[in-house]
Amino acid sequence: MYQPNDKFTQKAKSQGYRSRAIFKLEEINNKFKLITVGQNVLDLGAAPGSWLQYCAKIVGPRGKVIGVDISPIKNLPQSNIKTIQQDIFALNSLMDQWKNKFDVVLSDAAPATSGIKIADSSRSLALVEQALKIANQVLKKQGNFCVKIFMSPEAEKFYQQLKKYFLKTYRFKPHTSRNNSKEIYFIGLKKKN
């Protein structure tokens, strides 16, 4: 059952983070070492900004973090964060500028859910396919990728596709994901070229 004020939500608030999602990324990064000091990170579906806050802390002043979301992201004080309000399906104008510029691409984007399982899975798949398309253009060789997806037979096909582009791939469900959530994270390490 959805609990808007569970212990992770309270912990996020007490530590100054904008959402409980911070702890998912922290757990993923502790396990897979996606993000390190001095890197450039692109966060797709970045609102409300807790992943940006976490990444800015990890990459430090020599790194940069860019967050993109269709919803506005309230200003964050860290000087190494830049936000762009835009649909991730409409980033074509930035793709050339960003070619091979990022060490990490993250996507915690989720579709507006309807409660209709097939429709929600289809929207989730479209988002992750777009995130991978962007990652293939903007990631440096050896770059890392992490994307949230709702489990479905199509998600498994997407996971197999991911293997074409990264030397190592993993499926991971953080402990901080809600028990009834169908979300899982697919991780691609070391982009092949």
pLDDT in tens, 129-162: 999 999 999 999 999 999 999 888 889 999 999 9
pLDDT of residue 6: 74
DSSP single-letter state for residue 152 = S
**Which class does domain 7-191 fall in?**
alpha beta
pLDDT of residue 3: 47
Please choose, from the candidates 30, 83, 28, 27, the residue with its C-alpha nearest in 3D space to the C-alpha of residue 52: 83
Per-domain boundaries in the chain:
7-191
Question: Are 130 and 173 within 8 A, CB to CB?
Answer: no
DSSP secondary structure string for all residues of 28-42? HHHHH----TT-EEE
By annotation, the residues acting in catalysis are 148
Asked whether the whole model's pTM tops 0.85, one would answer yes
- Give the Cβ contact number of residue 168 at 10 Å: 11
Distance CA 65, CA 59 (A): 8
pLDDT at 61 over 80: yes
Query: Average pLDDT over the chain, rounded to whole?
Result: 90
Structure tokens at 184: 């899982």
Question: Are 144 and 187 within 8 A, CB to CB?
Answer: yes
pLDDT tens for each residue of 42-53: 999 999 999 999
- Pairing outcome for strands 81-85 and 102-107: unpaired
pLDDT of residue 186: 98
Question: Are 173 and 184 within 8 A, CB to CB?
Answer: yes
Torsion of CA 176, 84, 124, 182, to 10 degrees: 10
The arithmetic mean of pLDDT across residues 98-123, rounded, is 87
